[in-house]
Structure 1
Amino acid sequence: MSLSRMKWEDLPMTVRRAVEAHTGPVTAASTTSGGFNSAIAATLHTRSGPVFCKGLPMDHRQIVTQRREREINPHVVGLSPRLLWHVEVDGWDLSGFEHINGRHADYRPGSDDLRLIVECLQRLQQVECPDLPLKQAEQRLRGYVTEPAEAEMFAGDALLHTDWNCANLLIKGRAYLVDWAWATRGAAWLDPAGWLVWLMAEGGHTAAQAEAWAGRIPSWPAAPADAVAAYAKANARLWAEIAQGRPDEWTSRTASAAGAWALYRAQQDQARVGC
């Protein structure tokens, strides 16, 4: 469920003063409309430059996602905006990040952004997964597989972002990966698999076109075909469940793309077996 987005001015004065102890006086604030994981998400304008601030009430059930993002940040410097400060005051948990004055990625066929995202994904797959209490891919997807053994196909030691919607890729000369709320440990090919569904949902790619882009990531061609098919089905079930609880156009479009890719994988498997 998405969170109601607050304005900077709606935060308690004590919380704003705690932030300004790090930033200096905030002269203006622009609220970000996108995203589902933060109650406050705003660019704070200060005399020393802009800062991106995001946060949640400390008693919110998703507070663990904020903490996970801070824990991950030192390990993805160069891929993601740098964490600058963190405050916990009067029931609020807020983090300040380096501000990237970029735009959201364009996922349409022919976009120059796609090459930049491939480079970003390739760099991420060279990062060693830190020793943090991350959810494991087989745990996250266990409820969406047909057989328990299928979930084990998703296990691995790679650091995964898992949420490759275009709002989480900022483009400014290169691609910056933001919002690590759902960081996971698992098989490296799962991130290219997740990305290709967004290429279909937000860029209008066919399944074959999207898989061709995923194929530029070395882990993808090495992925076992039966594991990919199992993931495609599990992901389609996951998105069908999300769409039932959040029947908006964006979610429905993503669920349709996930279903279309699962069908494509099933057809590919039938063709492979028939050869």
Structure 2
Amino acid sequence: MVDASGARIGWSDLPEQVRRSVEEIIGAPVVEAVSQAGGFSPGTADRVRAEDGRRAFVKAVSPAQNPDSPGMHRREALVAAALPESVPAPRLLGSYDDGTWVALVLADVEGRHPAVPWRADELDRVLDALTVLARATTPTPLPDLPSAADSLAADFAGWQRLAADPPAGLDPWTIDRLPELAARADRGLAALAGDTLVHLDIRADNLLIAVDGTVTIVDWPWACRGPAWLDTLLLLLNVRLNGGQDTHARLLRYAAGVGADPDDLLAVLAGFAGFFLDRAREPAPPGLPTLRAFQRAQGDVLLDWLREAA
């Protein structure tokens, strides 16, 4: 399995002014910083402890690590500041932005990522948390965010690009169905209407489970407006990738429970499959050496899922 990870810097790599500003937000000097594994940000991801015992989670980045990452941090800061208290997410304590470096200081959350392969009990807890999230953010508290359809329109055109320039190694089943897959992706894009705040990047490394079973959803830079079921669908993709549960049976039960058309959900999965397989053939972005392999792995498991459902 390909790990979701970037070439990460640490607390000590931050400029003094950034560290000092973070300490002002926390309220005391930092005496310990422990880098956290997982995720694709090439910036810092440190759990820090101040000399008075206060704790926080700090993430900071500049264009030197990746040119797109500061903008993602800025967007996450806006989202985190607007999340209702009932959303199972870390509270934003403050942020720093000097035009080059962007830092977010969030409440530290005790917990671990879900076990993979996925366990049924932990999957049920995360599904419950996503239900709470959808209820708490419908209608969305951030109406100015882009819609899921707008956010994903270029990505879901991946099958069209693959049909125009098929990469080596595409299997015969896929090659024979390129026009059909492109049409399904179009259907999936049309199904993404909704007024729920959607995280759009639900996977095991963006989830924390506390000792008491409480689930916290972290890393919000891709948040948008979309259907209440979209985060659950992306969770099932991660379960499919990591194994442990019958994802297609779960999808059918979930669709029936929320009154969604399972063919619409499968069409959205087709759109993501085209996106992942198209992007996987591009060079790795700066600071993210494993991203393309991770995208290819997701595209491959989605193709298997679509064959199973055919």
User: Normalization by structure 1: what TM-score?
Assistant: 0.84
2:108 maps to 99
Structure 2 residue identity aligned to 1:137:
A
Deviation of residue 37 (structure 1)? 2.9
1:224 maps to 261
Write out aligned runs for 1:138-149 (5 A).
Answer: 138-143=149-154, 144-145=156-157, 146-147=182-183, 148=186
Distance 2:263 2:119 in 1: 30
User: Given the superposition, is the C-alpha separation of residues 124 and 155 from structure 1 closer, same or farther in structure 2, using an over 3 Å criterion?
Assistant: same
1:63 maps to 70
Distance 2:222 2:272 in 1: 15
2:58 maps to 53
Write out aligned runs for 1:8-27 (5 A).
Answer: 8-23=11-26, 24-27=28-31
1:175 maps to 215
User: Given the superposition, is the C-alpha separation of residues 62 and 134 from structure 1 closer, same or farther in structure 2, using an over 3 Å criterion?
Assistant: farther
1:273 maps to none
Moved more, 163-172 or 19-28: 19-28
Deviation of residue 132 (structure 1)? 4.0
Contact kept, 8 Å, 1:207 with 1:260, in 2: the verdict is no
Deviation of residue 33 (structure 1)? 2.4
Deviation of residue 155 (structure 1)? 1.6
User: Given the superposition, is the C-alpha separation of residues 5 and 190 from structure 1 closer, same or farther in structure 2, using an over 3 Å criterion?
Assistant: same
Confirm whether residue 75 of structure 1 aligns to residue 83 of structure 2. yes
Confirm whether residue 30 of structure 1 aligns to residue 47 of structure 2. no
Distance 1:210 1:37 in 2: 30
Distance 1:171 1:154 in 2: 28
Deviation of residue 62 (structure 1)? 3.1
1:115 maps to 124
Contact kept, 8 Å, 2:134 with 2:228, in 1: the verdict is yes
Deviation of residue 191 (structure 1)? 1.7
How big is each residue's C-alpha offset from its partner over 1:104-125, in whole Å with a ceiling of 9 and x where there is no partner?
Answer: 0125354421121011011011
Identity in percent: 26
Deviation of residue 213 (structure 1)? 6.8
2:298 maps to 254
Deviation of residue 149 (structure 1)? 5.8
Structure 2 residue identity aligned to 1:178:
V
Deviation of residue 154 (structure 1)? 1.4
Distance 1:137 1:157 in 2: 10
Confirm whether residue 6 of structure 1 aligns to residue 15 of structure 2. no
Over the residues paired in the alignment, what is the CA RMSD in angstroms? 2.6
User: Given the superposition, is the C-alpha separation of residues 87 and 5 from structure 1 closer, same or farther in structure 2, using an over 3 Å criterion?
Assistant: same
2:281 match: secondary structure? helix
Contact kept, 8 Å, 1:38 with 1:55, in 2: the verdict is no
Contact kept, 8 Å, 1:157 with 1:185, in 2: the verdict is yes
Confirm whether residue 238 of structure 1 aligns to residue 278 of structure 2. no
1:191 match: secondary structure? helix
**Which among 182, 186, 191 is matched to residue 226 of structure 2?**
186
Distance 2:7 2:248 in 1: 37
2:109 match: secondary structure? coil
Distance 2:188 2:112 in 1: 38
Structure 2 unmatched runs, 5+: 158-181, 285-289
2:243 maps to 203
Structure 1 unmatched runs, 5+: 268-275
Structure 1 residue identity aligned to 2:85:
V
Contact kept, 8 Å, 1:135 with 1:184, in 2: the verdict is yes
User: Normalization by structure 2: what TM-score?
Assistant: 0.76
Moved more, 239-248 or 119-128: 239-248
Structure 2 residue identity aligned to 1:239:
F
Number of residue equivalences:
263
Contact kept, 8 Å, 1:199 with 1:210, in 2: the verdict is no
1:125 match: secondary structure? helix
